[in-house]
Homo-oligomer: A and B are copies of this chain.
């Protein structure tokens, strides 16, 4: 049975009044501010007001190492939320806001898909309530104050060659990656080299995602390091007198946005930190509200369990103090086949047709990756559930292989057809997740705050990625030493590594062994609260293809939007 297009399903879905969706979460109207039709912002007062209500079970949805196409993690998150609600366990879904740049670049939104979407998807994918733009504004206000400081005499003694704060825009624009600013005359600023990242990669975004409230946000923003003096001393946003205005610019953006799924399940959509160099997880404050607004919270962690889930556990949960009750590992037949190493999948090109042939053996070969990602949940004491995200081209024999491996590993497993069937298709998965979450939580962080930065890096590399060890460039070593001296040693680690392999080499499939993790460079997001070692080339500003999604988006003769995903 063919599933209609996302936009078709979205436009035909019957939405509940959003205040009713909020009401079902126990949110009174004094906590709500409507933002256009079918979207509301929720006051952070809700955290305290709901605190006495029972705590929900907290479920994180991650995945095996994905192909470049993604394996439907958002769709599964939404579908599972709908499925839990259907089996009588009202759930709240918590996901990231889409980054507009990529949404207009490679065709595809970030609102889920098929009958497991968050609506209104046009809003979710474009602007929403302007949070992304507020992050851009706060980030660039700080940048303007940095360059203005240089221009007006540089009292703080910033080394112009050691300014780490770049600028951001929510657009795919490769020409802005490396730029020279301050050209022209003396009145046009100080000339120096810098660049733009995409807004999702802004430390302000990561900070907003990890903060627990407005005061905390104010303090974190003040701690942001924009660069160093000639003596190597960090210079902060506080020293530049920028943290106050940045906080004020973010005072609406800190409030989570309430939308709903196409089955009217509440969906909090809030923050979208980049998965490459930041946490790739939606906001702490959204989860803190959701955790007392239903029986289950289903949230997504970007990329595979080695990346998003590891950061969810060791950064997001460390910050929020919340312990997850179950961890879903989304797997697809096609991705497991690809992990056999026999198929090449390239984004934007047709899939190799032999990928669709019935071939349980290739699934079994590729399942090494699944095993490792299940282990990665266990490593943190979290009950794993394998969610097989069903595609029409799958074969029953292939599912059987996955089910057997899960059983062998002691993990629950279910096939989920939420894309084609919505929550009804995710009912079996929902039951499995509910069982797993009913077990007493054994959650544990992978490393203590007190471990040294290299110890933390090596723990993640060897235990989560399966590396033999870690090597550091001289530059990386020097940075680690700088950060230790500056007092950043207690921060957790956010590894910037390819998401296309458990290793740092995107071409290595399955569960690679016999390799070491090369750390090329180390940076610190002191405001957000993590240190990020960079292993390999990390793009922080995407480019547009020759035929981008943007070129197909338009209005029709009735003024309706067309061509959107």
Interface set of A (CB-CB < 8 Å, partner B):
33-37, 41, 100, 104, 126-127, 129-130, 133-134, 136-137, 140-141, 143-145, 147-148, 151-153, 169-184, 187-190, 193, 214-215, 218, 241-245, 247-249, 251-252, 543-546, 548, 550-555, 559, 561, 563-564
Nearest chain B residue, comparing its CB with the CB of A550 = B245
Knowing A249-B126, A251-B555, say if A184 contacts B177 (CB, 8 Å).
yes
A325 nearest CB across to chain B (Å)? 32
Q: Looking at the complex, which one of B41, B181, B248, B559 makes contact with A179 (CB distance below 8 Å)?
A: B181
Do the beta carbons of B184 and A172 come within 8 Å of each other? no
- Contact (A554, B148) CB under 8 Å given A127-B130, A127-B133: no
| Residue in B177, B242, B561 whose CB lies within 8 Å of A248 | B561
User: Could you tell me the dominant secondary structure of chain A's interface residues?
Assistant: mixed
Partner of A41, one of B36, B176, B193: B36
Q: Give the distance in Å from the alpha carbon of A247 to the alpha carbon of B555 in the complex.
A: 7
Tell me if B245 and A554 are in contact (CB < 8 A): yes
B183 touches A180 (CB 8 A): yes
Complex A-B: 9 CB contacts under 8 Å: A35-B36, A100-B137, A127-B130, A141-B550, A145-B544, A152-B545, A178-B188, A245-B554, A248-B564
- Bound form: Cα–Cα A169–B171 in Å: 13
Residue in B104, B136, B182, B244 whose beta carbon sits within 8 Å of that of A175 in the complex: B182
Q: Chain B residues near A545 (CB, 8 Å)?
A: 148, 152
Instruction: Give A133's nearest chain B residue, CB to CB.
Output: B133
Contacts of A169 in B (CB 8 A): 140, 169
* Given A245-B554, A249-B126; A175-B190 close (CB under 8 Å): yes
Known: A133-B127, A544-B145. A140 touches B173 (CB 8 A): yes
List 5 extra interface pairs beyond A130-B133, A177-B188, CB under 8 A. A144-B171, A148-B173, A176-B189, A245-B550, A245-B554
